[in-house]
Amino acid sequence: MNKENELLQLLQELTLGLSNVKEELSILRAAQVTYDTALTYGEWLLTWLETYKKPKVKYNYYLNLVGYVRNYVVPMFGSKPLVSINSMELQEFLLRINMPATRTQVAAVISASLRKAFELRLIPFNPYLAVSFEHYEQPTLGALTHRQYVDVLNAIDVPKRYVQTWLLLATGLRQGECLALERRNVDLERKTIRVEKSLERGTLELVKPKTRAGVRTVPIEEPLIGMLAPYLDTPGRIFPENTPDSLSRYYRRLFARLNLPFSGHIFRHTFITNAYELEIPDYVVQRWCGHSKRAQADVYLALRNAGDFEETELVRYMLRLKSRAVPSILRT
């Protein structure tokens, strides 16, 4: 009799459980989303670019995204309904792009746009999640040796350009930050430069740094102070004659003449490498460079051979910066 009661109770529990499952299924069916099959991937990409990317990124980076969308994604998927994009065709498409760096950038565009579409419930699942390939990693371009940056400085015959190059080597500022500097940002008495803006490539607008750490105060010493002084008589930008593009073109020609590799961050690479070789603490370098994380500085670090070391004027300059920034108990 007890056995029959136990079976009856189990049957009642199963019946109740089945009823609950049916109720939950009916709720899910009632809330089922009807996806817009007329919305094409190309239409969604335009919306994604304008609504979700353009307000958040620098204008030049936004133009890069537009280029990847226009030249790669739209020709292949622009007319396809967004809901019909599948993992296999994405995989095959990306593997057909022969340039690893471009493939990785295009994949990032597809990934971000489909992730946002899924978050907005425009598609039932994100097909990019099943895509797999080896992502391209930007190689470290290295830093100038002491002899190389001395050669660069010696090759510059325009006084103000010489000062500008010294400033980049001695502070680790990005080129856009250097070009945005105004007279009010330089305090010769306190021996500091206040970094607040960057001159944006393309729009030539003065924009705030991407992170709070980017707004910072950088120390300066002689001889840079003496070099800057003659150019601080009038308000406004210190280097108004330059744009990011014109400055890059100048350095590319100069470096080509010296048979040296050039990148937009070559002076920043050199500054950070010099700082670590002179054993300036990590937290100080991070603060000077406007990095929010310690690992960001590592990207710019390029170790050099001991035989490459020379006691240049810039090395002596950075040692004076170290003596100001590091408590005496930590000095060597």
Query: Quick check: is 8 in a domain?
Result: no
- Complete DSSP assignment for 23-43: HHHHHHHHT-----TT-BHHH
Domain final residue, candidates 127, 162, 185: 127
Q: Is the pLDDT confidence value at 236 over 80?
A: yes
pLDDT-based confidence at residue 325 (cuts at 50, 70, 90): confident
| pLDDT value, residue 111 | 94
Contacts with 252 (C-beta within 8 Å, 6 or more apart), sequence order: 262
pLDDT in tens, 186-206: 999 999 999 999 998 878 888
- Based on the fold, state whether residues 66 and 178 are members of the same structural domain: no
pLDDT digits (tens, 9 = 90+) for 86-101: 999 999 999 999 888 8
Number of structural domains found in the chain: 2
pLDDT tier, 295 (very low <50, low <70, confident <90, very high otherwise)? very low
Is 22 inside a domain boundary?
Answer: no
Q: Which two tokens stand for residue 258?
A: 């010296």
CA distance 161 to 250: 10
Average pLDDT, the chain: 85
Q: Are residues 167 and 295 in the same domain?
A: yes
* Whether residue 73 is found in the same domain as residue 169: no
- Name the nearest CA neighbour of 163 among 216, 218, 235, 239: 239
Do 158 and 121 share a domain, yes or no? Answer: no
Together in a domain, 210 and 316: yes
Residues 195 and 63 occupy one common structural domain: no
Structural domain containing residue 120? 41-127
Check whether residue 281 and residue 205 sit in a common domain.
Answer: yes
Which are the contacts of 8, defined by CB distance < 8 A and separation ≥ 6?
A: none
Q: Give the whole-angstrom CA distance, residue 17 versus residue 6.
A: 16
Residue 102, Cβ density class (10 Å: 0-12 exposed, 13-18 middle, ≥19 buried): middle
Chain segment 142-161, per-residue pLDDT in tens: 789 999 999 999 999 999 99
Tell me what pLDDT residue 43 has: 94
For residue 46, give the DSSP letter: H
Residue 294 pLDDT: 53
Residue 138 lies inside a defined structural domain of this protein: no
Q: Which residue did the predictor score with more confidence, 327 or 309?
A: 309
Decide if 112 is inside a domain: yes
